[in-house]
Structure 1
């Protein structure tokens, strides 16, 4: 009997240690959420607004610095391209050079320009603040990954997902500290896996839908929170009822 109690006490202690680790993880996730909303989101919004308001550099002017706050067209030579189709793992890059710049630019896909380029081709690049935001050749233009996008909804969705995941992990950690022998449905196999899956699907789904429909990013957070918490509480309630009935 004493040995069994000792084993139970050891397991409870290990459960509490696991709870502490989960709380630390939740703090890291919460810090990531705060960073998204305090820095990344406003910085991306400000960058896009600045880009949208930018005018072309004065005609005939010579650049006095590479990082100009105006749109300048620069002639580049194509050194080489990489087109590796593979969905999310695809690689679409072009290496270009000029008198003042040599390096790689990335694209989201091979069309409409990248897959037609060959080494030695001459292209016109649009440069803004030191970044090549687009390449053009014979009237065909393709933006690069450096062009500012008007998609703060996805960034807000990621921030909301991190915040809600932090709350979830904190709850699981707190249960392990307070009641290490009565975890109920607050385990990975009972509800943790399902809640993580729901959090990911809701975050990405709402974020992408908001981008496609042009929904203001300010609405993304409450929509994700309501959807995520509603489904989560329903899942936890079902597991809690099943667990209580099995006791």
Structure 2
């Protein structure tokens, strides 16, 4: 029952990914790409769906700063002593590693977030900048769907045959399937994001690959089990 409950939770997560998270990120990126510089009237009205420009001062920077098991790249900025905040970056270059306390920088803001920081013609996207990487959203959704299917099948088999449910056990079948599902989902999602392949290619490629791997693994385990059974009978 616990496995079936986990499968339902994972199926719900898959639904949220494809019904809300992926479309939301896609629309946000499109809106960002379509945004234009704010006019004087838009600035007076306090609009945030356009690109506003601010001249800020660097207070301090942190490059490859160890934070637990992760690494932080960030800059603390101030505006006329009336605002102070910290922006994060995915990596230290090309701009962050050059910044020093007291430097004047130009910040581009969109929807209350600083999305680009620049100085002397060198710009760098912050972690808040929308990116066209919804292939990774699809990879998470596919992994959730595959785990939901695996957990449901394993749970249903255990309920139907409480004393004879092999090979539907964690080690080695379940573990191998989970590793295969993870590798297939992100093994397709990452290259798709780098190359620019449409997001729907992730489930189209990853799901059949996992299904084939599942069949191969299942037949191999049953063949090995049958071989062990024959060996036991011969020894008797």
Cα distance in 2 for residues equivalent to 1:83 and 1:215: 32
Unaligned residue ranges in structure 2 (runs of 5+): 230-236
Cα distance in 2 for residues equivalent to 1:164 and 1:223: 13
Aligned partner (choices 31, 45, 52) of residue 33 of structure 2? 52
Question: 2:207 maps to what in 1?
Answer: 225
| TM-score, L = length of structure 2 | 0.90
Unaligned residue ranges in structure 1 (runs of 5+): 1-19
Does 2:65 correspond to 1:82? no
Where do residues 94-243 of structure 1 align in structure 2 (5 Å cutoff)?
Answer: 94-99=75-80, 101-243=83-225
The CA deviation at 1:89 is 2.4
More strand by share: 2
Cα distance in 1 for residues equivalent to 2:42 and 2:137: 37
1:142-178 Cα distance to aligned partner (Å, 9 max, x none): 0001111011111111101111111011111111111
- Aligned-residue Cα RMSD (Å) equals 1.7
Where do residues 25-44 of structure 1 align in structure 2 (5 Å cutoff)?
Answer: 25-44=6-25
1:205-237 Cα distance to aligned partner (Å, 9 max, x none): 100111122111122111111111111221112
Please tell me whether the aligned partners of residues 52 and 109 of structure 2 are also in contact (alpha carbons under 8 angstroms).
yes
Aligned partner (choices 77, 84, 92) of residue 73 of structure 2? 92
Cα distance in 1 for residues equivalent to 2:40 and 2:152: 58
Q: Please state whether the residue corresponding to 2:75 is helix, strand or coil.
A: strand
Cα distance in 2 for residues equivalent to 1:101 and 1:32: 38
Equivalenced residues, count: 226
The CA deviation at 1:190 is 2.5
Please tell me whether the aligned partners of residues 184 and 240 of structure 1 are also in contact (alpha carbons under 8 angstroms).
no
